[in-house]
Structure 1
Amino acid sequence: MEFVARQSMNACPFVRSTSTHHLKKLAANSSLAATASHCPVVGPALQQQRYYSQPSKPAQAQTSDIATGIKKDVSPIRMDSNETAFDYNGMYESDLANKRKDNSYRYFNNINRLAKEFPKAHRQTEDDKVTVWCSNDYLGMGRHPEIIKTMKATMDKYGSGAGGTRNIAGHNHAAINLESELACLNKKEAALVFSSCFIANDAIISLLGQKIKNLVIFSDQSNHASMILGVRNSKAKKHIFKHNNLKDLESQLAQYPKSTPKLIAFESVYSMCGSVAPIEKICDLAKRYGALTFLDEVHAVGMYGPHGQGVAEHLDFDLHLQSGIASPSVVDKRTILDRVDMITGTCGKSFGTVGGYVAGSANLIDWLRSYAPGFIFTTTLPPAIMAGTATSVRIVRADIEARIKQQLNTRYVKDSFENLGIPVIPNPSHIVPVLVGNAADAKKASDMLMNKHRIYVQAINYPTVPVGEERLRITPTPGHGKEICDQLISAVDDVFTELNLPRINKWQSQGGHCGVGDANYVPEPNLWTQDQLSLTNQDLHSNVHNPVIEQIETSSGVRL
C-alpha cells in the first residue's frame, strides 16, 4: 500500500498537492468519490457502465465500513440483537420426516454383485446371498472376462484416473477409440463421451436453449429427470406433450411458424413403464415443422437392433442386419436412425461400465465439445473405463444371441405372471413393471421378497413414478434362466397372496389402472418378432466381427 501511495503522489497532481490529513477527512465524510469525479482520468472511468455481476442485497444486515469504523445500515430493516440464524438442521429433519410419513423415503439396500456368480450378490456379509432381479446391467456385461481383462491391462499401463478434464489433462487414445466405436454403433459421423448420460442430457439440452435464440423445446411428459433439468436450465420456452401422444405434440408444434427453431426431446424406451416411443412418426413431425430431434436411447442401447444400437436401429431391423456396421443403401428413403439428429445413451447399463455419450453429425459433436460446460469442465472418464467400454461395445455388437436370450427370459416371466393374475403394466419392451399402487405396500413387498425369498427387487415410488402407481420393477438378464425365473414367479405370487395385494381382476373391477385390467387398452406387439428371435450370431454380417473402426477427428479437434 505504501508503494501505491508513493506512486499516486508522483503521478496524480491532486494527490500530490493534498495533505494526508485532508484525504482521510474526505474518505471519512464520503466526499472522496465526488471529488474524484472531477479528475480528468478517474472521472470518465467512474461514469462508465460496469457489467460485472453484482452480489444480492441482504434482506437484513448491518455492517461496518472497514476504513472508517462507522456502522451503517445496508437494509431498511435493522436486525434485532437477539435474532438467531436460520434453523438448517430443523429443515432437514422436517423434510426427512415428511418423506417417511408419505412412504417415499428411500432405503438403499447393501447389495454387492458377485462377478463370478451374477445374478447373485451378497449383502452385509459374504455368506448372506440374494438373487438380483432389478439391475440395469441388462446383459450382465459388468462381469464379462474380456472387459475386465482390458480394464486391468489399461489400468496397469495408464493408472487409475484421467488426471482432469480433457482440455487440461490431455486427450488419449482410449477416448478416441471409444468415441469412434460409439459413432460407428449409431451410424453417425461422430460421438462425444460424458461422465454420465445424466450430465450429457442436461449439458446438451441446456446448451441448445442458451445458444439458439428463440428455441422452443417440446418434451415428453414422461422424460427422465436429466432431460427435465436440461430443459429447465436451457431457459428456453417449453411445451410438455402427453406421453407418446402424437396428436398433442403436433397441436403444440403447429402454434409456431416453421422458421421458429424447435427441439423435440423424447426417449425410446421409458424405463419405469417400458413403453416405446413412435420414433418414425416423431421424425415425420419434426420434418414437417422444422424441428431438431433429441432421442435418449439409454434403456434401449444394447437391447434392440441387430447390433444393439437401440430402438432406432431395430425399426429398420432387416436393413441394418444386411449392411452390418455400414450404413444401409436406401433409395429415396433415409433410415430412422439417420433421421434422428442426436442420440444419447449410457455405458452404465447394457455395456456394464459407466459414462454417457451423444452421437450425431461431426459439426454438432464438435460444437458440443467446444461449448458445453458439462463436458469442458468435468474430469473425463479414466482410460481403463473407456477402454473397457470400447471392448464391451464390440462384444455387444456381435452378440445378438444375448439380446435374444434376454427377450425370451422376459417373455417367460411376463407370461407366467399373467397366468397367475400378477399385474404387469403392459408394454412391448424388456421392462417388467409389477403394479402395486401403494408406496407402503410396495416397500413391504420388496422387503418380503428380500427377507423371506432372498430376492432383491427395489420398490419404485414417488417422484420416480406418480403417487398411486408404485411398483416393483423387474429386469431379467440372459443369466436369469428358467430355474431362477421360476423361483421369482413363485416368490412374487406368495408375496401378493400374503400381503393381499390387488391382482389383475381387482384392477379390472375398478376400471383398470396403468393399462392393467383396462378393457379399452390395445396392447402393442413386442418389438422383437418371432423371426428376429430365431437369429444367431452367424446371421450377422461378416463386417460386424472384429471390425477395423476408423478413428474420428472430431473427438479432439486435431486431424488424425
Structure 2
Amino acid sequence: MESVLLQARKACPFLNVNNTAALRQLNNKSSGLLTKANQCPVMGAAIQTRGLHTTKKVMEEKTEPKHFEYENFYKTMLDKKHNDKSYRYFNNINRLAKKFPRAHLARPKDEVTVWCANDYLGMGANPILIETMKKTLDRYGAGAGGTRNIAGNADLHLQLESELADLHHTEGALVFSSCMVANDATLSTLGSKMPDCVIFSDALNHASMIEGIRHSKAEKHIFRHNDVEHLEQLLQSVDINRPKIIAFESVYSMCGSIAPIHKFVELAKKYNAITFLDEVHAVGIYGPRGAGITEHLDFDLNAASPHRGNGSIMDEIDIYTGTLGKSFGVVGGYIAGSSQFIDMIRSYAPGFIFTTSLPPAIVAGGRECVKYLKNSNVERRKQQLNARTVKARLAELGIPVVPNSSHIVPILLGDAASAKIASDGLLNEYGIYVQSINAPTVPVGHERLRITPSPGHTPEMIDHLVESLDDIWNRYGFKRVADYEAEGGRCDIGSKDAPKFSPIWTDEQLNYNMPAIEESQQKTSAV
C-alpha cells in the first residue's frame, strides 16, 4: 500500500498533500474518495469517460434483441397438448366403398369397422352417387376452373342450389366449399354489415359459428345450451329495434341434443330477431325428405305438402345452413333463405367470392344424393333402428351413454387419457375404429367416444361392438352408469333430475314408406 501511494503522490497533487491515515479515512466514508476523485480535473474526466463506456455497454447488453425461437415456440405449444392429454392423433383410415362400413389402415390387409364416421347413411359408397360422379368427371374434368364469378359457375352448381332451396322450402340457396366456410362467411358478413347488430349464440355452437361471430366483431351474447329462459333474459337486455340474430344448431353432434326450435322461433318473433339454424348433423337423416329436424317437427304435413307456405315451422326459419359432407356423401356446405338474403351474401361474403368453386363431379354427386334422399326412406329407417339397438344394448350393460333423442351415441369416459385408452384398445385389439373426443370439442371432464351407427352396420357388427366395449370397460375399470349415479350424475348420466328422452323418429314415422323409390334402390344395389 505504501509503495503504491508513493508512486501516486508523484503524479497527483491531492495525494501528495494528504497522509495515508487521511486517505484511509476518506475511503471509509460513503463515496468520500470517489467524490474527491470526481473533483480532480484529471481523474474526473477519466471517470466520466469510463462511466459512459460502461453505461453504453450495459445498455447494449440489456437492449440487444434476442432472436425469437420459432421451433421452441412450436414445441412449447405441442407440449401443452401432450401434458393435458388433449393432443390429437390422426389415424390412417381408408374407407372401402365396396365394403362400407369397413376400412383399411396403413396396410391394406389390416381392415377395421368404422363406427364414428359422419357419412351417416353410407351415401359416399352409394352406386347412384358414384356413377353420377364418374360420368360428370369424364365429361367436365376434375376442377371447376376458378371462383364462381370467374370460371366456376356451371349449370350443375345452379341445379344443386335449386335442389337445396326446394329441400328447405326457401327461395334460394348458395353453395360453399364447406359448411365451416358457409357459417363463418355468413355470420361474419351479416354481423359486420347490419348496423349495430347483436348475435345471440348457443353455448355449444360449432366452432364455425363461433369463428363467424368473432370475425363479425358484432356484440355477442352466449346463452346456456338450449336454455329458452336464459335466451329471453339476454334478448330483453337489448333494444328491440336493434338487428338481432339467434344462432343455434338443430342436432348437437357431440351430445346428440336437439334444439327447442319452436320456442326459439317464438322468441325471435317477440324480440324482432332472425333465426340462423345449422342443420348440418340433421340433413338427410330427419324429415320425410331429409331436410332436417325442422322438417321432421311437422312430419306428416311436410310429407303431404313439401313446399313453402304449407304452414309448417320450416317457413319460420330465416336462414338454414347445411353440409354435403355428411349424409349427402360428398363435400361442401350451403346456406338457404330468401332470394335477397342469398344475393346479399353472394355479393359481399369474401369466403364465397374468393374461394375456388367446388368441382363439377362433387356438385353433380351432391345434387344426385339430395334428389335421391328426398324420395328414399330406406337408409334413414335402417340408421335409426341401428341407433336404437346400440343404445339399448349398451344400457343393458350400464355403459354410460349420454342420453338424447337423436342418432348420436356418446359414451362418457370423463377424462382425456381414458378416452384415448378406450379408442386405442378398440382399434388395436378388436378392429373397431371409434375416435376419442377431447377438449376443446367437449368440456374438460366430458371426454368421450362418439359412436354413429349407420344403415351398413350389421347385427354381427353391433354384437362385436357391444361385446368389445364391455371387455374394455371391465379391463380398465371405467365408470358405468351406477358409478355416475353414486357421484350425483354427470352429463345427464345417473342424475336424478335428468330429463327423459324418446327417439325423435317415432315408430309410425319409421314405417313411412316410399315403395317406388325403395324398389328402385334395391335394383340399383343389386347392380
**Shorter-normalised TM-score: what interval?**
0.7 to 0.9
Of 412, 419, 444, 1:442 maps to 419
Task: Specify the alignment match of 2:365 in structure 1.
Answer: 388
Task: Specify the alignment match of 1:373 in structure 2.
Answer: 350
Give the Cα–Cα distance (whole angstroms) in 2 for the partners of residues 474 and 539 of structure 1.
32
Give the Cα–Cα distance (whole angstroms) in 1 for the partners of residues 328 and 484 of structure 2.
37
User: Which has the higher mean CA deviation after the structures are superposed, 292-301 or 158-167?
Assistant: 158-167
Say whether residues 1:197 and 2:174 are aligned partners.
no
Aligned-residue offset at 1:481: 2.1
Say whether residues 1:186 and 2:168 are aligned partners.
yes
Give the Cα–Cα distance (whole angstroms) in 2 for the partners of residues 534 and 150 of structure 1.
29
Give the Cα–Cα distance (whole angstroms) in 2 for the partners of residues 536 and 487 of structure 1.
30
Say whether residues 1:169 and 2:169 are aligned partners.
no
Letter in 1 for 2:308: S
- Aligned-residue RMSD, C-alpha: 1.5
Letter in 1 for 2:93: I
Say whether residues 1:235 and 2:212 are aligned partners.
no
Aligned-residue offset at 1:81: 8.1
Deviation sequence 1:347-369 (CA, Å, 0-9, x none): 00000100000000011001111
Matches within 5 A, 1:327-406: 327=308, 329=310, 334-406=311-383
Aligned-residue offset at 1:293: 0.3
Deviation sequence 1:67-106 (CA, Å, 0-9, x none): xxxxxxxxxx989785331111101001111111110000
User: Which has the higher mean CA deviation after the structures are superposed, 293-302 or 81-90?
Assistant: 81-90
Aligned-residue offset at 1:326: 2.9
SS of residue paired to 1:418: helix
Say whether residues 1:264 and 2:246 are aligned partners.
yes
Aligned-residue offset at 1:256: 2.0
TM-score normalised by L of structure 2:
0.86
Task: Specify the alignment match of 1:326 in structure 2.
Answer: 307
Say whether residues 1:158 and 2:135 are aligned partners.
no
Matches within 5 A, 1:457-496: 457-496=434-473
Give the Cα–Cα distance (whole angstroms) in 2 for the partners of residues 167 and 418 of structure 1.
53
Give the Cα–Cα distance (whole angstroms) in 2 for the partners of residues 534 and 395 of structure 1.
19
Aligned-residue offset at 1:261: 0.8
Letter in 2 for 1:274: G
Task: Specify the alignment match of 2:74 in structure 1.
Answer: 92
Say whether residues 1:106 and 2:88 are aligned partners.
yes
Give the Cα–Cα distance (whole angstroms) in 2 for the partners of residues 252 and 97 of structure 1.
39
Task: Specify the alignment match of 1:38 in structure 2.
Answer: none
Letter in 2 for 1:377: F
Matches within 5 A, 1:297-336: 297-323=279-305, 325-327=306-308, 329=310, 334-336=311-313
Seen in structure 2, the aligned counterparts of structure 1 residues 479 and 540 have a Cα distance that, compared at 3 Å, is: closer
SS of residue paired to 1:239: strand
Tell me, which stretches of 5 or more residues in structure 2 are unaligned? 1-58, 519-527
Give the Cα–Cα distance (whole angstroms) in 2 for the partners of residues 440 and 372 of structure 1.
41
Letter in 2 for 1:221: A
User: Which has the higher mean CA deviation after the structures are superposed, 102-111 or 480-489?
Assistant: 480-489
Deviation sequence 1:414-454 (CA, Å, 0-9, x none): 00000000000000000000000010010000000001100
Deviation sequence 1:277-322 (CA, Å, 0-9, x none): 0011100000000001000000000110000000000001010111
SS of residue paired to 1:169: coil
SS of residue paired to 1:166: coil
Matches within 5 A, 1:144-155: 144-155=126-137
Letter in 1 for 2:307: A
Give the Cα–Cα distance (whole angstroms) in 1 for the partners of residues 336 and 245 of structure 2.
16
Structure 2 contact 302–312 (Cα < 8 Å) conserved? no
Structure 2 contact 446–491 (Cα < 8 Å) conserved? yes
Task: Specify the alignment match of 1:290 in structure 2.
Answer: 272
SS of residue paired to 2:137: helix
Letter in 2 for 1:222: L
Q: Which runs of 4+ in 1 moved over 6 A?
A: 77-81
SS of residue paired to 1:150: helix
Say whether residues 1:456 and 2:452 are aligned partners.
no
Say whether residues 1:121 and 2:98 are aligned partners.
no
SS of residue paired to 2:98: coil
Structure 2 contact 117–452 (Cα < 8 Å) conserved? yes
Aligned-residue offset at 1:483: 1.4
Structure 2 contact 152–357 (Cα < 8 Å) conserved? no
Task: Specify the alignment match of 1:531 in structure 2.
Answer: 508
Give the Cα–Cα distance (whole angstroms) in 2 for the partners of residues 395 and 117 of structure 1.
21
Give the Cα–Cα distance (whole angstroms) in 1 for the partners of residues 63 and 200 of structure 2.
52
Deviation sequence 1:524-545 (CA, Å, 0-9, x none): 222111111112123999xxxx
Seen in structure 2, the aligned counterparts of structure 1 residues 153 and 286 have a Cα distance that, compared at 3 Å, is: same
Matches within 5 A, 1:61-80: none
Letter in 2 for 1:450: L
Task: Specify the alignment match of 2:16 in structure 1.
Answer: none
SS of residue paired to 2:173: strand
Give the Cα–Cα distance (whole angstroms) in 2 for the partners of residues 540 and 444 of structure 1.
44
Aligned-residue offset at 1:327: 3.5
Give the Cα–Cα distance (whole angstroms) in 2 for the partners of residues 287 and 196 of structure 1.
30
SS of residue paired to 1:326: coil
Aligned-residue offset at 1:257: 2.8
Aligned-residue offset at 1:258: 2.0
Task: Specify the alignment match of 1:210 in structure 2.
Answer: 192
Aligned-residue offset at 1:170: 4.3
SS of residue paired to 1:399: coil
Task: Specify the alignment match of 1:553 in structure 2.
Answer: none
User: Which has the higher mean CA deviation after the structures are superposed, 78-87 or 297-306?
Assistant: 78-87
Structure 2 contact 170–308 (Cα < 8 Å) conserved? no
Say whether residues 1:279 and 2:261 are aligned partners.
yes
Deviation sequence 1:111-146 (CA, Å, 0-9, x none): 000000011000011110000000000000001111
Structure 1 contact 406–478 (Cα < 8 Å) conserved? yes
Structure 2 contact 153–357 (Cα < 8 Å) conserved? no
Of 81, 104, 121, 1:139 maps to 121
Give the Cα–Cα distance (whole angstroms) in 1 for the partners of residues 204 and 154 of structure 2.
37
Task: Specify the alignment match of 2:15 in structure 1.
Answer: none
Give the Cα–Cα distance (whole angstroms) in 1 for the partners of residues 350 and 83 of structure 2.
39
Structure 1 contact 431–475 (Cα < 8 Å) conserved? yes
Of 202, 217, 238, 1:220 maps to 202
User: Which has the higher mean CA deviation after the structures are superposed, 80-89 or 350-359?
Assistant: 80-89
Letter in 1 for 2:375: A
Aligned-residue offset at 1:242: 0.3
Give the Cα–Cα distance (whole angstroms) in 2 for the partners of residues 523 and 133 of structure 1.
26
Deviation sequence 1:136-180 (CA, Å, 0-9, x none): 000000011111111111111111001110111142111011001
Tell me, which stretches of 5 or more residues in structure 1 are unaligned? 1-76, 542-560
Give the Cα–Cα distance (whole angstroms) in 2 for the partners of residues 373 and 493 of structure 1.
49
Q: Which has the higher helix share?
A: 2
Deviation sequence 1:376-408 (CA, Å, 0-9, x none): 000010011001100010111111121111000
Matches within 5 A, 1:474-553: 474-538=451-515
Structure 1 contact 196–354 (Cα < 8 Å) conserved? yes
Give the Cα–Cα distance (whole angstroms) in 2 for the partners of residues 142 and 170 of structure 1.
24
Q: Indicate the percent of aligned positions where both proteins have the same amino acid.
A: 56
